[in-house]
């Protein structure tokens, strides 16, 4: 049985060796889990044991999750997260399609009214609720819950769909972008090469052919070899990447961009954020709440000669940009717009790369807001868009 599991992992491009697979079989044989184990065993136990033995780097966790799910046909395998809202409320048991008249009848609340109403509902509601237009539940028209419809609401658990929720009450797991992603085309690298400024640094490792010829001629034909330091791209890049949520639709293209950037720029620093930058960023998505990097420290640490590049779809509720407390994950004391202005002020050469098709930009209020905050320096994640962005940053 597990032979096919091994080949499924290899088909998912996981670097799993035969030796590691044999170690997994030995663990099962010794009763770490399974029939010989002292405690009852679940599929979740096997998932964690297999991942511990077979996966050598955290960046491959997502590939392992997908391969595991594909082989065991969707078995739930991730540990549960603690939520303030009972999980049983969050299961979607009702899919409801509303007519245009019904949708038009739903009135969108403003931010302060929305938060006050949520607080009141949480105090009043005693049980689970499905459908309807008031209580926190599933499939209804209330601004609170999930699986229903409301133009402005607070999604509590579940999977989003309208891309307009202003709060997501759910502990989600994002994954780091894979910097080893093989590029399907060299075009991204070619576009990034426009942002180059070479300088000779470090030890003398490269033959200086013109200098050697001149020195040999001046030395009456006796060979006089001259060396010079190797040429490196001296451009410094600070890359801030949006991750999770609607960015899941663009993972492959962003990974290609990330891989190309790591190979082209010797001086590259990168951090993650979600939707909009606030008072902290992170480098590892699985430890984003325990290993935070203060945004003020980022501004102080890197000189203004760094080129600041944001990568994100800028698709969110406008509250996340303009409103304190607008973050979907925690209460931010200052609006995202304040932090974007501080960052762009600290790094004069900046640009925003947007993987969303440029044709939809005019229909997204948040994209328009981000574009204004960036001074119009927003470019699509296309060959021409990257070339235009690199040309602007190289000035």
Mean pLDDT within 186-209? 64
Mean pLDDT within 95-102? 49
Give per-residue burial for 53-67: e unless 16+ CB within 10 Å, then b.
Answer: bbbeeebbbbbbbeb
Mean pLDDT within 69-79? 56
d(CA 190, CA 27): 48
pLDDT tens digits, one per residue of 203-244: 556 677 888 888 888 888 888 887 766 555 578 999 999 999
Checking if the pLDDT of 86 tops 50, the result is no
Conformation bin of residue 9: beta by default, left when phi > 0, alpha when psi is -120 to 50: alpha
Residue 173 to residues 113, 176, 251, 267, Cα–Cα distance (Å): 30, 10, 14, 29
Mean pLDDT within 125-143? 53
- Mean of the per-residue pLDDT values for the chain? 76
pTM of the model: 0.57
User: How do 227-233 and 198-207 pair as beta strands?
Assistant: antiparallel
Confidence (pLDDT) at 56: 84
pLDDT tens digits, one per residue of 18-60: 899 889 988 888 888 877 666 767 788 888 899 999 998 877 8
Task: Please report which confidence band the pLDDT of residue 365 belongs to, taking 50, 70 and 90 as the band edges.
Answer: very high
């Amino acid at each position: 049985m597990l032979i096919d599991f091994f080949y499924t992992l290899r088909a998912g491009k996981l670097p799993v060796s035969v030796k590691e697979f044999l170690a997994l079989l030995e663990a099962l044989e010794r009763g770490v889990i399974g029939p010989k184990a002292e405690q009852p065993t679940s599929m979740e136990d096997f998932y964690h044991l297999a991942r511990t033995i077979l996966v050598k780097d955290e960046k491959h966790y997502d590939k392992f999750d997908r391969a595991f799910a594909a082989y065991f046909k969707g078995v739930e395998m991730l540990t549960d997260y603690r939520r303030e809202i009972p999980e049983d409320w969050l299961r979607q048991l009702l899919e409801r399609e509303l007519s245009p008249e019904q949708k038009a009848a739903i009135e969108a609340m403003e931010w302060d009214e929305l938060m006050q109403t949520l607080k009141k509902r949480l105090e009043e509601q005693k049980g689970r609720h499905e459908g309807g237009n008031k209580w926190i539940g599933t499939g209804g028209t209330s601004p609170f819950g999930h699986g229903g419809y409301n133009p402005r609401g607070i999604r509590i658990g579940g999977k989003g769909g309208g891309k307009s929720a202003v709060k997501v009450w759910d502990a989600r797991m994002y994954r780091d972008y894979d910097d080893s992603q093989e590029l399907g085309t060299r075009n991204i690298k070619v576009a990034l090469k426009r942002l180059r400024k070479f300088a000779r640094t470090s030890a003398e490792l490269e033959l200086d052919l013109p200098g050697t010829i001149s020195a040999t001629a001046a030395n009456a034909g006796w060979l006089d070899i001259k060396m010079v330091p190797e040429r490196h791209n001296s451009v410094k890049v600070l890359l801030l990447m949006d991750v999770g949520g609607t960015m899941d639709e663009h993972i492959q293209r962003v990974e290609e961009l990330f891989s190309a950037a790591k190979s082209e720029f010797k001086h590259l620093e990168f951090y993650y954020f979600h939707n909009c930058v606030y008072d902290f960023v992170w480098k590892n998505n699985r430890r984003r709440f325990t290993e935070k990097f203060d945004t003020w420290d980022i501004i102080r640490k890197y000189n203004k000669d760094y080129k600041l590049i944001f990568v994100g779809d800028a698709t969110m509720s406008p509250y996340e940009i303009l409103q304190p407390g607008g973050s979907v994950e925690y209460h931010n004391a200052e609006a995202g717009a304040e932090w974007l202005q501080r960052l762009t002020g600290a790094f004069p050469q900046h640009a925003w790369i947007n993987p969303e098709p440029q044709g939809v930009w005019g229909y997204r209020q948040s994209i328009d807001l981000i574009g204004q905050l960036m001074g119009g320096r927003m470019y699509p994640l296309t060959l021409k868009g990257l070339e235009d962005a690199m040309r602007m940053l190289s000035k």
